[in-house]
Amino acid sequence: MAEVNKGRKTLGIDVDSTLAESMETFINIYNRKYRKTAKLSDLMEYDLTKSLGISKAEMRAIFEETWHEWKKIPIVDSRIPGYVNSLAEKYYIKIITYNDTKDANLKKWLSKHGIQYGEIVYEIPESKWMHCDAIIDDYPKVIDAADRMGKLCIFLRKPWSNQAELELSGRVLKLSNWSEIYGHLISKEVYDQI
């Protein structure tokens, strides 16, 4: 973990599908549990209850089980530890996620991948923006709420969020990978605008 804030601007980073490719494990558990053959490419909407035809309670239970299998969850991009650790020299890093049932396993996952951070915050999606000056997330509702509050927003494009992306403000940085994200956040001009 990183040191205390020390006056740096705060960068909030989402976990699922932003740092951790947890949806692969989620889909595998879903397929086992319901005897289905779904693939990530089948997810056409961010809302898994609509994409997979399951209830919110079922979705939460599968996410909880997903994080019990934390060792199987791959990282979105193998360069993320280098990018985040470099950004941690400039920003105070807050890992922001909704599901607090994964706390111990999330910490193990972050440690396994060598990702430095200042703290982990558990927050409902629409309020994640309250904890940071800038945010990286793949959930359009989080990005929209943060944008309305004047935060620097980086929307990480995913196949299931293409339609929702069209509704986001032109001020939102809509990026496709961590190389682009790092390039924007490391620049002095972007840091000074936050």
DSSP 141-174: HHHHHHHHTT-EEEEE--GGGHHHHTTS-TTSEE
Is 83 inside a domain boundary? yes
Confidence (pLDDT) at 106: 94
Is 43 inside a domain boundary? yes
* Same domain? 159 vs 103: yes
Report helix, strand or coil for 9: strand
Bigger pLDDT: 102 vs 58: 58
* Same domain? 56 vs 102: no
Assess contact for 13 and 128: CB atoms under 8 A: no
pLDDT per residue as tens digits for the range 55-82: 999 999 999 999 999 999 999 999 999 9
The residue to which tokens 């992306």 are assigned:
165
Separation between Cα atoms, residue 144 and residue 147, nearest integer Å: 5
Residue 164: pLDDT above 70? no
Confidence (pLDDT) at 85: 97
Assess contact for 122 and 98: CB atoms under 8 A: yes
pLDDT per residue as tens digits for the range 105-126: 999 999 999 999 999 998 877 7
Residue 155: pLDDT above 50? yes
Separation between Cα atoms, residue 179 and residue 185, nearest integer Å: 10
Is 4 inside a domain boundary? no
Q: Which residues contact 37 (CB under 8 A, 6 or more apart)?
A: 31
Residue 139: pLDDT above 80? yes
Is 188 inside a domain boundary? yes
Range of the domain at 159: 9-21+75-193
CATH label of the domain that carries residue 124: 3.40.50.1000
* Same domain? 137 vs 65: no
Q: What is the pTM of this model?
A: 0.90
* Same domain? 104 vs 61: no
Q: Which residues contact 36 (CB under 8 A, 6 or more apart)?
A: 30
* Same domain? 66 vs 92: no
Average pLDDT over residues 142-169: 82
Separation between Cα atoms, residue 78 and residue 135, nearest integer Å: 20
Average pLDDT over residues 123-137: 85
Is 150 inside a domain boundary? yes
